[in-house]
Amino acid sequence: MAYYCNEPSRTFREYMLIPNLTARDCIAENVELRTPVVRFRKGEASSLNLNIPLSSAVMQSVSNDRLAIALARSGGISFIYQSQPIEEQAEMVRRVKKHKAGFVVSDSNLTPKHTLADVLALKEKTGHSSIAITADGSPSGRLLGIVTSRDYRPSRTPVDAKVEEFMTPFSQMVCGGETTTLEEANDLLWGHKLNCLPIVDEAQRLLYLVFRKDYDAHKDNPQELVDAKKRLVVGAGINTRDYRERVPALVEAGVDMLCVDSSDGFTEWQGDTIRFVKEEYGDSVKVGGGNVVDREGFLFLAESGADFVKIGIGGGSICITSEEKGIGRGQATAVIEVDRARDEYYDKMGVYIPLCSDGGLVYDYHIALALAMGADFVMMGRYFARFDESPSQRLKLGSSYVKEYWGEGSNRARNWQRYDLGGKGGVLPFEEGVDAYVPYAGGLAENVRTTLSKIKAVMCNCGARSLQEYHGKARLTLVSELSFREAGAHDVILRGGENT
Ligand code: IMP
């Protein structure tokens, strides 16, 4: 006879937190959000921590090098997507590790043979008006010139005019060199009244651009997550197929942490993958496993050597796994059960394994709930896809802006390795994710700041100054449908004219 779980599977929307006594010094500025990400023994400390409990999903439409840089600068970590060729993924990792604050890799590049029409199209796509002109049109090609909106008049310059006819050529440009510091770059920007300063190497190859508008933003960021050499921290996804080749390439590129990206982590393939990393690299390379939704799955990954365990099947905003296969579990129930198993494991084995709650976080307070239920950090896709820094296109839909967001199990991503069920592989037999839009929300740093201020406020209500204290103190209650309705504005007419 089949086994039946007696409890229904619950989502975050079904829970609320009950306040505890808040001490006078329990105020937002005293709340510490630092959190462990890799396993450690009782009495010791985790060798890798995040400054804020947020990570971005292993997805094409979420975690590229640009978003990874922005998130590490805010104190969290991105896991660069693995549904791309090994060398391209390693290159993204390299770009994050090489990132110098204020120095950005140019994302708008053309060749001298392109036309004004190409310039206008690129500007529309990226929203950036400074375009580097390189010999091969790549971000690291030989720099031949630059085009900004001062170089052409859309009403006068013919759209088929070649870039070489109106660009500012290299001979007339002011550039910085490999050893230029941010301070010096800033002096050049102001001294020459420039908006953008290209940085080139000895062979005139483009390395970075420094923008005047970025200077203040990059001066000082106390939460920034850096390694011992002051380089930004970055993670990367791996799969259970090509790990023998992918892991060495990522390690060589300087990755700080790996995570097996799989919709179902309770498999022998995943066990083999984690063991491979541990046998090859010992403790010097950290690898998380997932996803699981119950005690058995957690114990399997813990015993396989996972440095952290990721929880979540079926709850992702773009996920149709439960609809297609009837597999999954309400995210709250999954986190609660795995947290219990983790605590028992800690008591028995003296080893603490951090937990990551992945997917299904709709409101900021859901993050606070996941953390209260025992997660050490969360992973989000939809949340980060909305920002300027995510890799997808920003489009106008009706009167508002949206960004594209598609699941790794959609035909668009074709990430069959994530849904691997053995056999020959190479194709997704059916889709487990959708191709969608999310409302555009602006820059990452500002949004993350707002989210964190809400999490800190919740923690203060619960009388907790650290996540560890919060785990021990939080009190949760189930909500009825009616009390849930009262959670929002109700029985009033909003000033916008809408009835609630
Ligand atoms: P979100 O934050 O609710 O958008 O969920 C993101 C999470 O959904 C990811 O971290 C993955 O665990 C999961 N995911 C990504 N792509 C797919 C898919 O195509 N189908 C099902 N789950 C997905």
Half-sphere exposure of 305 (CA within 13 A, CB side): 20
Residues in the chain: 500
Q: Is 465 helix (H, G, I), strand (E, B) or coil?
A: coil
pLDDT, position 251: 98
pLDDT, position 7: 86
- Does residue 243 have a pLDDT over 80? yes
How many helical (H) and strand (E) elements, i.e. helices and strands, does the chain have? 16, 24
CA of 308 to the centre of ligand 1 (A): 18
Q: What is the pLDDT of the chain when averaged over all its residues?
A: 93
pLDDT, position 151: 93
82 contacts 236 by C-beta, under 8 angstroms: yes
Mean pLDDT in residue range 334-354: 98
The CA-based angle 92-93-96, given to 5 degrees, is 90
CB-based contacts of 223-228 (< 8 A; 24+ apart in sequence):
223/51, 223/52, 223/73, 223/74, 223/75, 224/51, 224/72, 224/73, 224/74, 224/75, 224/101, 225/50, 225/51, 225/72, 225/73, 225/75, 225/76, 225/77, 226/72, 227/256
Question: Which 8-state DSSP code applies to residue 197?
Answer: E
CA of 49 to the centre of ligand 1 (A): 24
Region of 137 on the Ramachandran plot (φ > 0 left; ψ -120 to 50 alpha; else beta): left
What is the end-to-end Cα distance of the chain in Å, rounded? 48
Least confident of 377-381, 465-469, 478-482: 478-482
For residue 252, name the pLDDT band (cuts at 50, 70, 90).
very high
pLDDT, position 55: 98
pLDDT, position 102: 78
pLDDT, position 306: 98
Pick the residue whose CA is nearest to atom 21 on ligand 1: 319
Report which residue type is found at 165.
E
Radius of gyration (Cα) for the chain, nearest Å? 24
pLDDT, position 281: 97
Segments of 142-286 assigned E as strands: 143-147, 168-169, 196-200, 206-211, 235-238, 257-260
pLDDT, position 229: 85
Q: List the structure tokens of 320.
A: 């149709």
Mean pLDDT in residue range 466-480: 96
pLDDT, position 66: 95
pLDDT, position 216: 62
Residues near 459 by beta carbon (within 8 Å), at least 6 away in sequence: 31, 368, 465, 467, 470
CA of 57 to the centre of ligand 1 (A): 7
Cβ burial of 367 (10 Å; 0-12, 13-18, 19+) is buried
Mean pLDDT in residue range 351-361: 97
Q: List the structure tokens of 146.
A: 């630059």
- Does residue 497 have a pLDDT over 80? no
- Does residue 51 have a pLDDT over 80? yes
d(C-alpha 161, C-alpha 496), whole Å: 49
Task: Name the residue of 364, 408, 411, 415 whose CB sits within 8 Å of the most ligand 1 atoms, as the mutation to test its pocket.
Answer: 408
CA of 492 to the centre of ligand 1 (A): 36
Cβ burial of 265 (10 Å; 0-12, 13-18, 19+) is buried
Q: Is 109 helix (H, G, I), strand (E, B) or coil?
A: strand
pLDDT, position 392: 93
Residue corresponding to tokens 């006879």: 1
Whether 207 is in the pocket of ligand 1, judged by its Cβ within 6 Å, is no
Mean pLDDT in residue range 267-271: 97
Whether 360 is in the pocket of ligand 1, judged by its Cβ within 6 Å, is yes
Beta strands 400-406; 435-439: pairing state:
antiparallel
Mean pLDDT in residue range 207-229: 79
pLDDT, position 219: 58
Least confident of 3-7, 236-240, 275-279: 3-7
d(C-alpha 116, C-alpha 114), whole Å: 7
CA of 315 to the centre of ligand 1 (A): 7
- Does residue 215 have a pLDDT over 70? no
- Does residue 421 have a pLDDT over 80? no
pLDDT, position 217: 57
Whether 407 is in the pocket of ligand 1, judged by its Cβ within 6 Å, is yes
The CA-based angle 114-117-120, given to 5 degrees, is 110
For residue 220, name the pLDDT band (cuts at 50, 70, 90).
low
Cβ burial of 116 (10 Å; 0-12, 13-18, 19+) is buried
CA of 235 to the centre of ligand 1 (A): 17
Question: Which 8-state DSSP code applies to residue 226?
Answer: B
Could you tell me which residue, 375 or 194, shows the higher pLDDT? Answer: 375
Least confident of 83-87, 136-140, 371-375, 437-441: 136-140
Mean pLDDT in residue range 205-224: 78
Share of the chain above pLDDT 70, in %: 98
pLDDT in tens, 179-198: 998 888 888 999 999 889 99
Highest mean pLDDT among 209-223, 392-406, 425-439, 449-463: 449-463
Q: Is 86 helix (H, G, I), strand (E, B) or coil?
A: helix
Whether 409 is in the pocket of ligand 1, judged by its Cβ within 6 Å, is yes
d(C-alpha 39, C-alpha 62), whole Å: 26
Could you tell me which residue, 443 or 424, shows the higher pLDDT? Answer: 443
Question: Which 8-state DSSP code applies to residue 223?
Answer: T
For residue 435, name the pLDDT band (cuts at 50, 70, 90).
very high
pLDDT in tens, 72-122: 999 999 999 999 999 999 999 999 998 877 788 888 999 999 999 999 999
Mean pLDDT in residue range 138-162: 92
- The pTM for the full model equals 0.84
pLDDT, position 24: 97
24 contacts 7 by C-beta, under 8 angstroms: no
Could you tell me which residue, 498 or 235, shows the higher pLDDT? Answer: 235
Return the ligand 1 atom nearest residue 312 CA.
12
pLDDT, position 126: 80
d(C-alpha 191, C-alpha 211), whole Å: 14
Residues carrying an active site annotation: 319, 418
Whether 410 is in the pocket of ligand 1, judged by its Cβ within 6 Å, is yes
Whether 237 is in the pocket of ligand 1, judged by its Cβ within 6 Å, is no
Whether 321 is in the pocket of ligand 1, judged by its Cβ within 6 Å, is yes
Q: List the structure tokens of 120.
A: 């206008």
d(C-alpha 359, C-alpha 14), whole Å: 16
pLDDT, position 500: 64
Whether 380 is in the pocket of ligand 1, judged by its Cβ within 6 Å, is yes
CA of 82 to the centre of ligand 1 (A): 14
Return the ligand 1 atom nearest residue 362 CA.
3
d(C-alpha 409, C-alpha 317), whole Å: 12
Cβ burial of 24 (10 Å; 0-12, 13-18, 19+) is exposed
pLDDT, position 128: 84
Q: List the structure tokens of 87.
A: 């060398």
Pick the residue whose CA is nearest to atom 13 on ligand 1: 316
Whether 290 is in the pocket of ligand 1, judged by its Cβ within 6 Å, is no
- Does residue 17 have a pLDDT over 60? yes
CB-based contacts of 486-490 (< 8 A; 24+ apart in sequence):
487/16
Mean pLDDT in residue range 431-449: 95
